[in-house]
Amino acid sequence: MTKVLTGSDIEDILSSKFMNQIEFIGDDYVQIINNDSLDVFNYLKIDQKYDLLSSVTSVDRISHFEVVYHLTSLQKNESMVVKIKCGEDRINPNLKSVVSVWRGAELQEREIYDLMGIMFEGHPNMKRLLLWENFEGHPLRKDFVS
């Protein structure tokens, strides 16, 4: 059975090196701050063996945007959820791309950009994935009116 780490478990893992990166500890996730998030992810991938990025997705929380990373460790058979908050003012939300850490984020980040309008810095090919190039707006945002 894959062990789903609780918020405090994740805190234990991160606290040794990235205590000040942790913004909020939820029941089953940890929210880290946007800056230097790649260091945290590199640490999780290389040192903690969270080698499979199951899913990257985003939620429009109306007050802000949230990007959710589901990480899985194949060796330890554990999974965890890490979140990053961005775009407090709903203008130009942007984030560091994790493509350099996990290649699997490539298409998923493009999809998030396309549908939610969150820009990922350092993505090799940041353009719309599902919709066409001249499409206006980002449909999964709660304020999108078709």
Q: By the criterion CB under 8 A, which residues form the site for other proteins? A: 1-2, 51-55, 57-60, 68, 70, 74, 77, 81, 102-108, 111, 115, 128-132, 139-140, 144
- DSSP lists the bridge partners of residue 73 as 78
| Alpha-carbon separation of residue 26 from 5, 6, 8, 139 (angstroms) | 11, 8, 8, 28
Q: How far is the CB of 134 from other proteins (least distance, A)?
A: 13
- Tell me which amino acid residue 113 is: Y
Q: Which is nearer to other proteins, 2 or 8 (CB)?
A: 2
Minimum CB distance to other proteins smaller for 15 or for 135 = 135
- The C-alpha atoms of residue 23 and residue 83 are separated, in whole angstroms, by 10
CB of 52 to other proteins, least distance (A): 6
Which candidate, 3, 20, 25, 109, places its Cα nearest to that of 11?
Answer: 25
Q: How far is the CB of 54 from other proteins (least distance, A)?
A: 6
Q: Which is nearer to other proteins, 40 or 99 (CB)?
A: 99
Q: CB-wise, 15 or 62, nearer to other proteins?
A: 62
DSSP 8-state symbol, 104: T
Question: Which SS3 state, helix, strand or coil, does residue 34 take?
Answer: coil
Q: CA-to-CA distance for 111 and 106, rounded, in angstroms?
A: 9
Please report how close the Cβ of residue 122 comes to other proteins at its closest, in angstroms: 16
